[in-house]
Amino acid sequence: MTEVLPFLSQHIVEIFRFLGQHIEAVYILALSILLGIEVISNVPAVLHTPLMSGANAIHGVVIIGAIIVMGHAEPDNYLALILGFLAVVMGTLNVVGGFVVTDRMLEMFKKKK
Amino acid sequence: MEFQENLLHLLYFLASVSFIFGLKMLSNPKTARNGNLIAAAGMTLAIIGTLFLYHSPEGKPIGNLPWIFTGIIIGTIIGTLMAKRVKMTSMPQMVSFFNGMGGACAALISVNEFGKYTQSNYAETLFNSEVLMILLGIMIGSVSFAGSMIAYGKLEGKIKDYVLPRQQLFNTVLLLIILGLGAFIMSQTEGNLGLLYVVMFLSLVYGVLFVLPIGGADMPVVISLLNSFTGLAAAFGGFLYGNKAMLTGGILVGSAGTILTILMCNAMNRSLLNVLVGAFGGQSGAAGAAHAGELGVAKEVSLNDCAILCNYAQRVMVVPGYGLAVAQAQHITHEFESVLEARGVEVKYAIHPVAGRMPGHMNVLLAEADVAYDKLLEMEEANPLFKNTDVVLVIGANDVVNPAAKDDPTSPIYGMPILDVDESKTVVVLKRGMSAGYAGIENRLFFNDNTRMLFGDAKSSIEKLVRELKNL
């Protein structure tokens, strides 16, 4: 017991330090979760598919990470270059394909007559 | 350079706001299309800003630009072509494919980022938040990629449902091994790249096994879930780089995607767990078959009789299902509707929330065929109208009109809200044969006194119906 307690408190201190250092991210996390729930809650079933597709395109924002990785890969580090290049291509597919498919779905919701 | 940095912050902020507004607008039919465009514009700003304004903490700008541009151009061309060419019936698998790409992208970023931890530092273990984010990014990204590809294959009809013996136990053990290896990597003082690849490989296997046993009809729920997974993986990346646009975009999709998944499950009156464990089908099929003989004989109707029924009706209600999508019968159905409307028959469509293979699937398909938006009734609007409907045409739908959902507690679909088509004067069911629907259960509706069967492929049946109608 006497050994476990300092060990635990050490970790609790670590966790608090982590939270303190990243408090901004923690705020963003909490608010984004609430926003996400709020934004979706009243959607009619008709729009489930386009909404899912639109959300799918939005997480394509991961491409920014791919650009950063690729942009800072050493020019002689071929493995990093190849992986980064693949990541950029796939990320772009996610973004472009996602938005175009969503637009095609929604194009059809125009009111006729 | 400080100016560039602040400008980039502003662009990321605009992107985050555009994602929020975009999602909000996407949840209303009137504003949906603009919402999508706004989110796309925000995304473009964020990407261009990153390309030209981003500097690493050491102050280095983005290098390798020719490579990056080549990648973006290739991705744009392929993505646009795929998205433009895909048939409306194949939309769900397309979304799944693009989702998988995002997951793979997140996993690859993490693999690359791990590179800087491969040199031994002999001082501290890798137990820090950055390595944690890298590991989570790899695990979730890989699961999302592999799962999405399986979902894609299933909806394309290339991969069959497959359940391993003791699958749930096996999956759980596999998951524990993956997490254990992750913890082991973090407890070392030197990053072990080989072990990281093992984690990635096992995560891919887990993604495959996670989706493989789940039935094709439940794929939309799975795709939506994997969608929120990829959102999370993107958010981990955002954490890694302290990038607010990635963080907000990823989390937003993560939470919205989770809620959407639950909404889809609710529409089928099932829990997410029930979908994931795959309790549908299987055992219920045998039970249903045993009842089949007791239900009596289904009565057929001739094309001519059916045409006459519709021609002299006041209101005809069409209930579309997956069969209509498979047969590509949406255009001919619209023609059928126009012919009847020209003769003063009121025609409406009753759309069950989970008709087809994806919520909203039928609306998209019928809209493609120029069916007016106000002719499409949701279940709550349609149900009170069936009492005063002369003919209901059930085209390739089955489980969503099965009365067992209302009065047979032993039925696997018991409790799912259905379209009350049996309250109308006559129900005509267009179907290929007497086989059961996706849930694998018999449908008592087919044996009702006021139900008539019209066997055959939906498209050719309706084509013939239209011809008969024109001859009347």
Structure tokens at A19: 């939270």
The residues of B assigned a catalytic role are 399
Residue A100 sits at the chain B interface (C-beta within 8 Å):
yes
- Estimate the share of chain B in helix, then strand, then coil, as percent rounded to the nearest 5: 65, 5, 25
Q: Indicate the range of B176-180, B334-338, B341-345, B402-406 predicted with least confidence.
A: B402-406
Residues in chain B: 472
Q: A103 exposed, middle or buried (CB, 10 Å; 0-12, 13-18, 19+)?
A: buried
3-state secondary structure of B392: strand
Indicate the residue of A28, A41, A64 with minimum beta-carbon distance to B50: A64
User: Measured between alpha carbons, how far is B83 from A98 in angstroms, rounded to an integer?
Assistant: 8
Q: Which of B237, B134, B113, B229 is nearest to B182 (CA)?
A: B134
Residue A30 sits at the chain B interface (C-beta within 8 Å):
no
Q: Round to the nearest angstrom and report the end-to-end CA distance of chain A.
A: 77
State the pLDDT at residue B408: 80
Q: CA-CA-CA-CA torsion for B350, B351, B357, B360, nearest 10 degrees?
A: 150
Interval B86-141: pLDDT, tens: 887 788 889 999 999 999 999 999 999 898 887 766 667 777 788 899 999 999 99
Interval B380-400: pLDDT, tens: 889 999 999 999 999 988 888
List, in sequence order, the alpha helices (H) in chain A: 4-21, 23-40, 48-58, 63-71, 78-92, 98-107
3-state secondary structure of B110: helix
Q: Round to the nearest angstrom and report the end-to-end CA distance of chain B.
A: 78
C-alpha gyration radius of chain A: 22
Task: Label residue A3 by pLDDT band (50, 70, 90).
Answer: low
How many other CB atoms are there within 10 angstroms of residue B172's CB atom?
Answer: 11
Residue A19 sits at the chain B interface (C-beta within 8 Å):
no
Chain B's closest residue to A44, CA to CA, is B27
Q: Indicate the range of B59-63, B258-262, B434-438 predicted with least confidence.
A: B434-438
Residues B183/B215, Cβ–Cβ less than 8 Å: no
* Cβ–Cβ gap B227/A56 under 8 Å: yes
* Cβ–Cβ gap B255/A37 under 8 Å: yes
Share of chain B above pLDDT 70, in %: 92
| One-letter amino acid of A14 | E
Judging contacts by C-beta atoms under 8 Å, the chain A residues touching residue B369 are none
| Domain layout of chain A by residue ranges | 1-42, 43-106
Question: What number is the ipTM of this complex?
Answer: 0.88
Task: Tell me how far CA of residue B361 lies from CA of B160, B217, B440, in angstroms.
Answer: 22, 12, 21
User: Measured between alpha carbons, how far is B237 from B111 in angstroms, rounded to an integer?
Assistant: 11
Position B8 pLDDT exceeds 90: yes
Position B289 pLDDT exceeds 50: no
Position B280 pLDDT exceeds 70: no
What does the DSSP assignment read for B2-14?
Answer: HHHHHHHHHHHHH
Would you give the DSSP letter of residue B384?
A: G
User: Measured between alpha carbons, how far is B26 from B35 in angstroms, rounded to an integer?
Assistant: 5
Q: Which of A66, B21, B369 is nearest to B349 (CA)?
A: B369
> CA of A63, closest CA in chain B: separation in Å?
7
Residues B25/B32, Cβ–Cβ less than 8 Å: yes
| Domain layout of chain B by residue ranges | 1-85, 91-280, 290-471
Is the torsion defined by CA of B406, B266, B279, B443 positive or negative?
Answer: positive
Q: Which long-range contacts (CB under 8 A, 24 or more apart) does B175-179 make?
A: B175/B206, B177/B202, B178/B139, B178/B202, B178/B203, B178/B206
Indicate the residue of A45, A47, A71 with minimum beta-carbon distance to B267: A45
Task: Tell me how far CA of residue B93 lies from CA of A10, A64, B294, B351, B391, in angstroms.
Answer: 49, 25, 39, 21, 34
User: Measured between alpha carbons, how far is B4 from B287 in angstroms, rounded to an integer?
Assistant: 68
How many other CB atoms are there within 10 angstroms of residue B468's CB atom?
Answer: 18
**Which distant-in-sequence residues (6+ apart) come within 8 Å of B141 by Cβ?**
B103, B104, B105, B106, B107, B108, B110, B230, B233
Judging contacts by C-beta atoms under 8 Å, the chain B residues touching residue A68 are 50, 54, 56, 62, 241, 243
Interval B216-270: pLDDT, tens: 667 888 999 999 999 999 999 998 888 999 999 999 999 999 998 988 888 777 7
Position B20 pLDDT exceeds 90: yes
Interval B345-364: pLDDT, tens: 999 999 988 787 666 778 87
List, in sequence order, the alpha helices (H) in B115-159: 129-155
How many other CB atoms are there within 10 angstroms of residue B32's CB atom?
Answer: 24
3-state secondary structure of B255: helix
Q: Which CATH class is domain B290-471?
A: alpha beta
User: Measured between alpha carbons, how far is B297 from B449 in angstroms, rounded to an integer?
Assistant: 10
Q: Which of B331, B120, B107, B283 is nearest to B204 (CA)?
A: B107
Which among B14, B88, B108, B361 is the top mutation candidate for probing chain A, defined by the most A β-carbons within 10 Å of its own β-carbon?
B108
Task: Label residue B279 by pLDDT band (50, 70, 90).
Answer: very low
Structure tokens at A89: 């291509």
* Cβ–Cβ gap B247/A51 under 8 Å: no
Computed over every residue of chain B, the mean pLDDT equals 86
Q: Which of B413, B347, B333, B429 is nearest to B385 (CA)?
A: B347
**Which distant-in-sequence residues (6+ apart) come within 8 Å of B340 by Cβ?**
B310, B311, B316, B347, B469
**Which distant-in-sequence residues (6+ apart) come within 8 Å of B256 by Cβ?**
A36, A37, A39, A40, A51, A55, B23, B228, B231
More confident residue, A61 or B417: A61
User: Measured between alpha carbons, how far is B319 from B439 in angstroms, rounded to an integer?
Assistant: 18
**Which distant-in-sequence residues (6+ apart) come within 8 Å of B153 by Cβ?**
B159
Judging contacts by C-beta atoms under 8 Å, the chain A residues touching residue B51 are 67
Q: Which of A40, A110, A97, A35 is nearest to B251 (CA)?
A: A35
